[in-house]
Structure 1
Amino acid sequence: MTMRWSLWLLGLGGFAAAVWMVVDIGAGDVASALAAIGWGALLVLAFRALPLWFDAAGWRVLFARGARPPMGVTWWVRWISESVNALLPVAQIGGEVVRAHLISRSSVVPRPAIGTGEAAATVIVDMTTGLIATALFSLTGLLLLLGRHADVGVTGAVWWALGGLALMTGGFVAAQRSGLVTRAVRAVAVRLARGRAGAFVAEMNTLDRAFERMWADHGAILASAGWRFASFLAGAAEVWLVLLLLGHPIGWDDALMLEALSTAARSAAFAIPGGLGVQEGSLLVLGQLIGLDAPTALALALVKRLREVVTGLPALALWWWVGTRSPAPREP
């Protein structure tokens, strides 16, 4: 079975699980809870621009000083990347390939010129600082949960997820600094570039130098992780806002706990496209721990899912439009 078919099956399984949750709890009850948001859904859609801005800032700071792409361009490329990960069967990683490809195109960033190798390196390091921020954010959520429910059975699963994130992050950093990532990317480039393999390999040779520069710039690494953490905090604010609009206001600490631990669950299930079923199930379980009834908890999950769809489809359309009108990537 190919990887593509595996991803499709995982996605369909996650979707089926989400539908089963809605049916099991009562589609009518969930729909009634969801309808309470009304026109407030527009506010939720608009609010999404803030965490995206934080994510874009965390990526942009990794580029060499004096050669950083415009913030507006970085923002919409990051928007496309997130939408690809959320809506397409790409195991939540295909969007990273897309943003490295887009940011290195002369039609997207004419000046300063960004080579393919530099673009790929910034995306890989940004993914790493994102993992660091995810682990810290998830730990914050776990501590909040333990402060309220020290005997909750789900804490063991969260500890396992945090351990997995820590190992993944450490391994990812080591692979970058040892040159393993460079060799792997070069091998893939040779296989995929075909007739243009020489040009791609030459660009991939810049990966080690880019990794060395970025990891030596401790201020940029800390700033990137800080911006990513700020994005997660904005995600918690979104949870707080959605539940307020649904007529079930909660405290900031509960909103942060819900977002942090559902993020940990979705990160642990990265192979499932869009975290289908995982996000819904985690919010259902965690929501009931803070007193949310099941229809409201699922309504929260569905608002987040609908927001991904409504904001993601225009991004995919923009990606198609840019792709049909952009020249090939720069030759080194």
Structure 2
Amino acid sequence: MSFSNQFFANPVRLLAPMEGLTDPLMRQILTQIATDLGRPYDWSVSEFIRVTQHVLPAHVFYRYVPELHHDAKTASGTPIHIQLLGSEAQLMAENAAYACELGAPAIDINFGCPAKTVNSHRGGSVLLDEPEVMYDIISAVRQAVPTDIPVSAKIRLGYTDTSRMDDIRGAITDSGADWLTIHARTKTQGYKPPAYWDKIQSFNTLDIPVIANGEIWNAEHAQNCMAQAGTTHLMLGRGAVTRPDLIAQVDKSHNQIHQNYQNSENKTTLCWEDLIAHQIKFLEGKAKTDVVLVGRYKQWLGMLTKGYCEAQILWDSIKREKNKAVIIQALQTSAK
């Protein structure tokens, strides 16, 4: 089944899966902001769920993707695709099939994670050096998942270098993947600028949609990425956490360039004052403990300092604070 018309009739904008960052609470906040700005994400992909020795119990899927209890959508209505990571094709297939039974609307397979711990256990980007294993995994998952549910893959340009790009492209071509997302760096390059968007071009020979990802921090980056990669489809990662209005800015710029921008009452910029309510909602969210929640919030605030000067001022005043109520009070004060 071709999902191109169903999912890619227009340029898609996705919220990236980022381990330890875009957890269910962060997804809820960021997808709500995008929806409020009038340009919701087409979908988001979950943090990877590690598949090792058996079919995971339901509670593990629900822990990573509580949205499964709500038609696999965030409160704002953004669909969540489930991402799996592993190296055993049959186990990956069985877990993918079970995830679909639990309500997953799509399965994404992680071949991009650069974490040493993950790679040392033969998961994530290390498999880019084993394109034949990539093929086995994707094709097994595609065969196990119902035909009306898409299967996608997320990769990097290679592991230590780009020398196996042709082999990787061949594995994707023959595997039955319904679309491909490419982070435009190798594992060795990590997250260090720049991203090599032009390297994505060669994957456009695939007969499936290609989504570009990596180093998109503002609308200009997005335009350059689309031009160099030769695709209009984007996955937004750390830039979307740093500037939660990035998706609206990207689409406004894209539409203006292509002369199909229409004046709208929807805002495309989220000022600091408007972001405060969302930060407080984050701090009032669910977590194992307040200590965990405060730590997660400080991680976000640290990233927001790259997008908002007000965030730097707040960070300087609360970076050693551990009391959640005190931090919320400081947030409320920062709006004045």
Q: Report the TM-score range of the alignment, normalised by the length of the smaller protein.
A: under 0.3
Which structure has the highest strand share of the two?
2
Larger RCO of the pair (alpha carbons < 8 Å, separation 6+): 1
Please state which structure has a larger fraction of its residues in helix.
Answer: 1
TM-score, reference length from structure 2? 0.27
Q: TM-score, normalised by structure 1?
A: 0.27
